[in-house]
Amino acid sequence: MASLLVEGGRVSSVSGLPTKVIGEKLTIDQLLEISHPAPPIWSPQGNRIAFMRELDGAADLWWTTQEHDGPVPVTSEAGSDNPDTVSGFAWTASGDQLLYVLRGNLYRYDIDSGSVEALISDGSLSDGPTLTADGLKIALVRDGQPWIGSFPGLDGSFVVDSEGTFRDLVWSPDGRFLAVLHSSSETIVEDAAVLMGDKVEFTRHETNPTDLGVIDVVSGGLRWLERSDAYASEAAFSSGGMLAWQEIAHNAKQRRILVASPLDWSPRVVVDEYDEAWWTLTYLQTGPRWSPDIERFVFLSERDGWTHVYLLNASDPAPEAFPLTAGEFEVEEPVWSPDGRTLLLAANRGSLTERGLHLLEVPMTEGELRELEPISQLRGTSMFPRWRPDGEVVAFLHADPENPLDLWVQEPRPDAAEQLTDTWPEGAVEDQLIAPQTVRFSSADGELVPAQIFLPRDYSDRTGPVPVVVWVHGGGIRQNRYGWHPNRVYAMFYGFHQYLLQQGFMVVTVDYRGSIGYGRDFRQGQYLDLGGRDLDDVLATVRYLERIDDVDIGKVAVWGISYGGYLTMQALVKAPTAFDAGVNIAGVIDWLDWAIDPGGLWIDGRMESPEDHRELYQQRSPIHFVDQLTRPLLILHGTADQPVPALQTFRLIDALVRADKPFEVMLYPGEEHAFLRSRTWRDAFRRVERFFDATLR
């Protein structure tokens, strides 16, 4: 296999990429039958595993065993006329029943008989149930307020009457206290969009910071531990009843971890980190993870430039954290073993686009760094590791170039992994899957940009030039992976790229500055520079393609979703001739408007306040430069999108019409930011395929 690591010179034709022979033809409809599992949860006895699986706008609940007794569906919403999503579930203490919330109602499912009983059927519930450790009390969010009752009797009452919405209920080990997060959002209706002289009413949402409180179940009183302009999250009780949580400042420049004792609930700051740019780990579950035995916890920090695990003894009067891992790789999802001696974690050591599972022995006191011990030889992405209660087996999710995300189990030793579920529809997927090659090329300032290249299946046999599709992921806080993506939405695009490969397109996916997995400095490359250096990274893809034999450099399209849609538009209006066509899916068009709705940590961290940087906000907003558009454009957007309100696309349409620019657009009524329904994906993919055929053939 030839290398495509390039900083200069030409790249010769490459063949011999690994493939998985499955059949002869891959269709869009087959891709839409691939479901997507969520993190597994063991039963208290460790003999069963429950998980949710998303398909066609629904998330159904399933269970299985390590002995392959399943998977068995608990709900069957996918494919129904009006699918809904299980909003949460919990095992009962006996481990032979599952409680779950669907359409606002609470149900109990019996494993042995398969029977279902409705326990609460008034449609008032918004989150899943939370049971105490002994299983005798249950907490629910009903009509946005915390409700506590006995179980299984369900004799209970509302314990708080407060405006706003409560969520993320967490019991103390003894069942005396309940930690709750609380936030409020104000709905603002205004005449916001001028469309060809007529006004259309849009709804804006203004979200306020998140507060943390503790409810005393005996007295019924609520004590607020943190009420500020920060965002509290990830509250967790230690085995001794101490509470720890994380808070992030509204401008994302400061992250703190606090603890409080049930003796007086006075908050004490034990971790305080400040970054002049912004604290970039808001995308990770980085808060405190208590040891099961003593008052110490681990947390993630990027204080040395890479995301690593740190240990802190919260019982010390002046605790200091010390690192457990170090190096030019990143760690995610540390999970304590039941005996408190080791951590199980995911890390991209050895390959930055992959995630492997590792064990780490935890010292009792500060000392030398311990070596990570890999427990799996699987390539690709392994994530969400969960110990069986006896600590002998691990359940996790895994994806690779040959397999979308599935549930696996293994003993904590190499070569013991076993696949429990198979998300391929039976007899459906019928083609050769192409694995990517990782490449790097220089951006305008010399920074090496990571990317992946997929060559079409008949590349070595082609006699003519190959059209190319360049994919730009969204979020900034994303990363293209080696193989199927663990995120549901990006797995859909990965599958569609495999479909395009069989149609004869080459596909390049680029990790521009702001992407995760490459260290803090690379993540912070967007600071006060949205649509700047990251756009240069995307444009550098074209220069890279010019050095590859057989590429039709006059037939290169760019497309992306969310922030990738923004960079697509930015490329089309700021470098009008770099690409030959573009597809913008739910991209931001006007940063000043987006800073108002939805606003929040994402934009505050990267661009600071629009009051201080108004000119920068305007210069980096494509809506002000649509008169420079010269290439074909396709726009796709859901009308129920909240992360990037459809108002952004309405204003883009208005600007394009005023500038007399041709374009295609499709709005999907009721669809969200990340499309949910199979019919939407089917229509979108077919439109994109027709668009690429028309502009690149």
Query: Phi first, then psi: what are they for 612, rounded to 5°?
Result: -90, -20
Residue 524 lies in a domain: yes
Across the range 399-420, mean pLDDT stands at 93
Distance CA 180, CA 237 (A): 12
- pLDDT of 193 reads 43
* DSSP classification of residue 52: E
- Using DSSP's 3-state secondary structure scheme, residue 692 falls into helix
Distance CA 640, CA 667 (A): 10
- Select from 475, 639, 632 the least CA-distant residue to 560: 475
* DSSP classification of residue 671: -
- pLDDT of 654 reads 97
Residue 583 lies in a domain: yes
- Using DSSP's 3-state secondary structure scheme, residue 342 falls into strand
Model confidence at 36: pLDDT above 50 = yes
Residue 277 lies in a domain: no
Provide the domain count of the chain: 2
Is residue 467 packed enough to be buried (19+ CB in 10 Å), middle (13-18) or exposed (0-12)?
A: buried
Q: What is the pLDDT of residues 279-313, one digit of tens each?
A: 888 778 889 999 998 899 999 999 999 999 999 99
Strand pairing report for 581-585 and 551-561: parallel
For the ranges 13-22, 200-209, 572-581, 656-665, which has the lowest average pLDDT? 13-22
- Please, are residues 617 and 610 in contact by the beta-carbon 8 Å criterion? yes
Boundary-marking domain end, from 158, 193, 220 = 158
Q: What is the CATH classification number for the domain harbouring 667?
A: 3.40.50.1820
Residue 565 lies in a domain: yes
Model confidence at 72: pLDDT above 50 = yes
Boundary-marking domain end, from 158, 173, 199 = 158
Q: CB-based contacts of 4: which residues, under 8 Å, 6+ apart?
A: 11, 14, 437, 439, 453
Token reading at 292:
């099961």
- pLDDT of 14 reads 41
pLDDT bucket at 70, cuts 50 / 70 / 90? confident
- Please, are residues 123 and 103 in contact by the beta-carbon 8 Å criterion? yes
For the ranges 96-105, 278-287, 320-329, which has the lowest average pLDDT? 278-287
Q: CB-based contacts of 598: which residues, under 8 Å, 6+ apart?
A: 205, 207, 642, 643, 645
- Please, are residues 613 and 537 in contact by the beta-carbon 8 Å criterion? no
- Please, are residues 569 and 526 in contact by the beta-carbon 8 Å criterion? no
Across the range 644-668, mean pLDDT stands at 97
For the ranges 101-115, 159-173, 229-243, which has the lowest average pLDDT? 159-173
Q: What is the pLDDT of residues 587-619, one digit of tens each?
A: 999 999 999 988 888 999 999 999 999 999 999
Q: What is the CA angle 602-607-608, rounded to 5? A: 90
Model confidence at 429: pLDDT above 60 = no
Please report, as a single letter, which amino acid is at residue 682: R
User: In the chain, what is the straight-line distance between the N-terminal and C-terminal CA atoms, in Å?
Assistant: 29
Mean pLDDT score of the chain: 91
Residue located via tokens 């009308």: 639
- pLDDT of 144 reads 92
Which range of residues forms the domain containing residue 150?
37-158
- pLDDT of 205 reads 56
Distances (CA, A) of 22 to 25, 86, 378, 399, 430: 9, 33, 20, 17, 5
Across the range 66-76, mean pLDDT stands at 93
* DSSP classification of residue 125: B
Residue 190 lies in a domain: no
For the ranges 282-296, 394-408, 490-504, 659-673, which has the lowest average pLDDT? 282-296
Tell me the sheet residues that pair with 233: 246
Residue 187 lies in a domain: no
Q: What is the pLDDT of residues 135-147, one digit of tens each?
A: 999 999 999 999 9
Q: What is the CATH classification number for the domain harbouring 99?
A: 2.120.10.30
Among left, alpha and beta (phi > 0; psi -120 to 50; other), residue 519 is left
Residue 678 lies in a domain: yes
Model confidence at 187: pLDDT above 60 = no
For the ranges 73-82, 343-352, 620-629, which has the lowest average pLDDT? 73-82
Residue located via tokens 């039976």: 426
- pLDDT of 24 reads 62
Boundary-marking domain end, from 158, 180, 197 = 158
- pLDDT of 199 reads 45
- pLDDT of 191 reads 43
Residue 88 lies in a domain: yes
- pLDDT of 415 reads 80
Tell me the sheet residues that pair with 248: 231, 255
Distance CA 115, CA 108 (A): 8
